[in-house]
A and B are shown apart, each in its own frame.
Chain A
Amino acid sequence: MNQSTLLEVRNLRKLFPLKKAGFWEAGDKHVHAVDGVSFELNRGEVLALVGESGCGKSTLALTLMGLETISQGSIVFDGQDITHLKGPALRTMRQHIQMVFQDPYESLNPLMTIGQLVAEPLVVHRLVRSKAERADRVHRCLEDAGLKPAEAFVNRFPHELSGGQRQRVVIAGALVLEPTILLADEPVSMLDVSIRAEILSLLADLRVKRGISILFITHDLGTAAYFADRVAVMYLGRIVEIGPTREVLANPAHPYARALLSVIPVPNPRQRRERLILRGDPPDPIDLPPGCRFHPRCPIAQAVCREQDPVLQDVSRGHQSACLLQT
């Protein structure tokens, strides 16, 4: 772990035990939601975690937040092992890692005012002494999140705001604890295209102004490309490729990353190009295929892929991929 590493995840696994289907059936099957994920998040860095739904990226976020228990592996934050924190220690920990959720229509309690919602973390952690101090911090965070003037918003209810404004409220609520890491789980996928950019640039500004590290979880490699420093591509609970954004976009090493990249719509009809469309859906994370877990859908799979499970290997400096066939 070097100086600039803020969060280090080592071989993280999260298995959900499957309910017994029948009385006689053995109940030893598991859903392999996250199955051996390792990565580092550096200070002030934006790391995008890209994958299809069901690849385990949201579960990974919840385990990092301590909202799901961890089956195996470790999480080290700022030199401190936080894997098995419980109770008050975990709650203190949560001040450092905050989350922005996908659906701004659902993630705000409809009965609370914007002011109450943003102040909630301060109340929960008993961080402010006076009402004035609380109002001041709420005010500052709302303005930092681009809701200006803050007075116009504090006494309003979520249903009076648009989707983009609600997402700003969620971001303001995450900022009020002055976290060092922000987990953004698909923060723009529920918003209209015309306002996505402003939310993304708000997040980018926060990184510059406050030095926050952002783990940006998305299914859209296109948006990730715009603002992440590094990209990690997940497939069936594993990271199959990780590297600097430019490097991964220019030279994707894993066939899955290549396919994902090829199907991203490009808003230029002159550049309609060959798309690598994978057939079918990702296999079921309960009965994983033997060997490389991507081989049933892989366009270039060989016999060896059915037997050997690949590990991440260096492609170039800082760029790794888990494919047996890479050269």
Chain B
Amino acid sequence: MPAAFADAPLLLDVRHLSVDYVSRGQPAAHAVDDVSFVLREGEILGLVGESGCGKTTLMLSLMRLLPSAGRIVAGRVDLLGRDLLSLSEKEIADVRWKEMAMIFQGAMNALNPVRTIGDQISEVIVRHNIAGNKAVLDGRISELLELVGIPANRKDQYPHQYSGGMRQRAMIAMALACAPLIVIADEPTTALDVMIQAQILELLLTLRQKLGLAVILVTHDLGVVAEICDSVLVMYGGVTAEYASVNTIYNNPQHPYTQQLLDAFPDLSNPSDRLTSIPGYPPRLDALPPGCRFAPRCSVAFERCHHEQPPLYQLSQFHLASCHRVESE
């Protein structure tokens, strides 16, 4: 745990969470398998992995918004000491948005084109019946827009009058509408230009500072993670590959997947390095390799890796990695 956050109050405690997808006539696909992590007040956690590694599924299961085929088969999700998995549908609906809000991937392009931005934000507030009368509601919308850096007088404009960056800001405003403790942002900067991406990341940092917001940033971009995250959870094929503070992940990565992922990322501070890529493809969730899930693509795999799934080894107080090589060292 980074020093700054070791004492901060614990918000979210996820333990041994497993999610399966079941469908008729097929074996269950283990989309998320035994994942644990914690989130403290004001912490920004980066959740990193390739397409289909289960990161979106993990986030949806925290919100209990899994599609009908998804089943949470094991684990606990404690939010301020309350187990979210045992709440009734009505109670969890109250937790969503008021305590934990999510910015869905690509949602900025799914805004209703025929309704104003202000109107769409007010819908969120009204649905969770927070504001009393119209004046309070209008005031709150203006306040939210200002908070994310949009002039309040633009609340009566339509999505097409907003640029991509502003639409993403509006999505953040919408997520903040009910003053949540945690915001989950799924690939919030993916489709944006570098400059706009930098603006959005800066906004997340400002919000953390102003509101003490905790953020889970789901991304495949290690550069973004290095810029703003405090801790990093690297996922591969539904399991935790490595979980550590951002400094440890970048300067002392222990899992070969983390190492290879870092090598695949262009580093302008050291451009003479040659970029490498990870050969092969991520495994299918319904046909996982018998041993370590990364073994078929791993350059340093040995006999044992192909038969036995490595447990999560604790390397230091806040550094976990699931690799057989770690044990032998």
Contact = CB atoms under 8 A, between A and B. Distances in A.
A194 B251 contact: no
A192 B271 CA distance: 20
Contacts of A109: none
B245 to A, nearest CB: 9
Interface string B215-242: 0000011111111000000000000000
Contacts of A223: 266
B163 A52 contact: no
B142 interface: no
In this complex, the interface size class of chain A, counting residues with CB under 8 Å from chain B, is 35 or more
Given A259-B195, A277-B202, A265 B227 contact: yes
A271 B269 contact: yes
B194 A193 contact: no
A225 to B, nearest CB: 5
Given A195-B278, A221-B268, A281-B163, A268 B226 contact: yes
Interface residues of B, number: 43
B275 interface: yes
Interface stretch (B6-14, B55-63, B86-94, B256-264): B256-264
A314 to B, nearest CB: 24
Interface string B177-218: 000000000000000011111110010000000000000000
Interface in A198-226: 198, 200-201, 219-223, 225-226
B286 interface: no
Contacts of B246: 269
Contacts of B268: 221-222, 225, 249, 261, 264, 266
Contacts of B51: 192
Most chain A beta-carbon neighbours within 10 Å: one of B193, B223, B225:
B193
B50 interface: yes
A249 B267 CA distance: 12
Given A196-B277, A271-B269, A222 B223 contact: yes
17 contacts: A53-B193, A162-B281, A194-B261, A196-B264, A197-B277, A221-B268, A222-B223, A223-B266, A260-B195, A261-B268, A266-B223, A266-B269, A268-B267, A269-B246, A270-B251, A277-B202, A281-B196
B104 interface: no
Given A193-B221, A193-B222, A277-B199, A226 B271 contact: yes
Contact of B261 (A53, A193, A249, A271): A193
B264 A193 contact: yes
B264 A197 contact: yes
B299 interface: no
A281 B161 CA distance: 13
A271 B262 CA distance: 15
Contact of B266 (A219, A226, A260): A226
A269 B165 CA distance: 25
A261 B29 CA distance: 43
Most chain B beta-carbon neighbours within 10 Å: one of A162, A249, A259, A264:
A264
Given A162-B281, A281-B165, A266 B194 contact: no
B276 interface: yes
A52 B193 contact: yes
A131 interface: no
Nearest to A219: B193
B224 A265 contact: yes
A267 B271 contact: no
B228 to A, nearest CB: 9
Given A196-B277, A266-B268, 4 more contacts: A194-B264, A225-B268, A267-B225, A269-B250
A277 B271 contact: no
Given A192-B50, A193-B221, A266-B269, A277 B198 contact: yes
Most chain A beta-carbon neighbours within 10 Å: one of B51, B196, B246, B261:
B196
Contacts of B198: 263, 275, 277
B251 to A, nearest CB: 7
Contacts of A162: 281
B265 interface: yes
Nearest to B165: A281
B227 A272 contact: yes
B247 interface: yes
A201 B275 contact: yes
Contacts of B196: 52, 281
A200 B277 CA distance: 10
A289 B279 CA distance: 48
Contact of A194 (B195, B269, B278): B278
B220 A192 contact: yes
Nearest to B297: A194
B51 to A, nearest CB: 6
A277 B267 contact: no
A278 interface: yes
Contacts of A196: 264, 275, 277
Nearest to B229: A269
Given A267-B250, A269-B246, A221 B264 contact: no
Interface string A57-93: 0000000000000000000000000000000000000
A193 B221 CA distance: 7
Question: Which 10 pairs, one residue from A and one from B, show the smallest C-beta to C-beta distance?
Answer: A265-B223, A263-B198, A197-B275, A197-B277, A198-B277, A222-B266, A52-B193, A194-B278, A281-B163, A269-B246
